[in-house]
């Protein structure tokens, strides 16, 4: 597995190294030892899947409030997504910044989203099936997020939005998190 740290500290793009032959391929989707060798402490306590029917669907930007913050590793089992990670850690040098990566069944990339960061996706194809390895349990009352159209973050989604949950439409703006921010 190849680990590349993104511009946000603790966010890693993970590229499995498939072994291919005439039958197809075999790859390791998770290896605790490989993560540890790269300075990443991650225990899986839950595995989630989401399926989105329509190209252009937005999910997120989701996270769980402290003390229920969780890390997650996200991969595509079918389709292609535009994955966004926003840093909500006030003590981070990249606080308020966001990055994106395209993840697909074809490129086999995964992304590790650390505790304290929000994650959102936009589907780039129809019929997207995503899998999430979680380091923490889902706690419904701790689940929240940041609006997809937040004027502080200024996320550039690649497609017109075709579908979004009512809950996601009503998430908070980033600048409602208790501090006044400059308009970076």
The answer, yes or no, to whether residue 180 has pLDDT greater than 70, is no
Distance CA 117, CA 86 (A): 5
- Mean pLDDT computed over every residue of the chain: 92
Convert the pLDDT of each residue in 53-89 to its tens digit: 999 999 999 999 989 999 999 999 999 999 999 999 9
Residue ranges and CATH numbers for the domains of the chain are 43-174 (2.60.120.10)
Across the range 122-142, mean pLDDT stands at 96
pLDDT of residue 181: 36
Point out the catalytic residue in the list 62, 63, 137, 173: 62
DSSP letter, residue 176: G
In 3D space, the residue among 174, 146, 157 whose CA is nearest the CA of residue 64 turns out to be 146
**What is the reported pTM?**
0.90
Q: With bands split at pLDDT 50, 70 and 90, how would you rate the model's confidence at 104?
A: very high
Residues contacting residue 8 through CB under 8 Å, at least 6 positions apart: 85, 87, 92, 94, 97, 98, 99, 117
Catalytic site includes residue 132: yes
Distance CA 71, CA 41 (A): 10
What is the C-alpha end-to-end distance of the chain, expressed in Å?
35
Distance CA 25, CA 31 (A): 17
Across the range 131-144, mean pLDDT stands at 95
Convert the pLDDT of each residue in 50-63 to its tens digit: 999 999 999 999 99
Convert the pLDDT of each residue in 8-34 to its tens digit: 999 999 999 999 999 998 988 999 999
- The rounded Cα 41 to chain-centroid distance in angstroms is 17
Catalytic site includes residue 68: no
pLDDT of residue 162: 97
Point out the catalytic residue in the list 132, 137, 138, 173: 132
Q: How many CA atoms lie within 13 A of 111 on its CB side?
A: 27
pLDDT higher at 60 or 103: 103
Distance CA 9, CA 3 (A): 13
pLDDT of residue 90: 87
């Amino acid at each position: 597995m190849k680990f590349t740290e993104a511009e946000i500290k603790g966010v890693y793009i993970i590229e499995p190294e498939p072994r291919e032959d005439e039958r197809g391929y075999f790859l390791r989707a998770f290896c605790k030892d490989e993560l540890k060798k790269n300075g990443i402490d991650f225990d899986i306590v839950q595995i989630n899947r989401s399926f989105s029917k329509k190209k252009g669907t937005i999910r997120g930007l989701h996270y769980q409030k402290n003390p229920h913050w969780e890390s997650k590793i996200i991969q595509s089992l079918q389709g292609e997504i535009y994955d966004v990670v926003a840093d909500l850690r006030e003590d981070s040098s990249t606080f308020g910044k966001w990055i994106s990566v395209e993840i697909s069944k074809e490129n086999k990339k995964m992304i590790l989203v650390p505790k304290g960061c929000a994650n959102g996706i936009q589907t780039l194809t129809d019929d997207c099936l995503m899998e999430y390895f979680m380091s923490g349990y889902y706690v419904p009352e701790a689940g929240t997020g940041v609006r997809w159209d937040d004027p502080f973050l200024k996320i550039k989604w690649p497609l017109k939005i075709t579908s979004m949950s009512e809950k996601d439409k009503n998430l908070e703006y980033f600048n409602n998190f208790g501090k006044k921010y400059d308009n970076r």
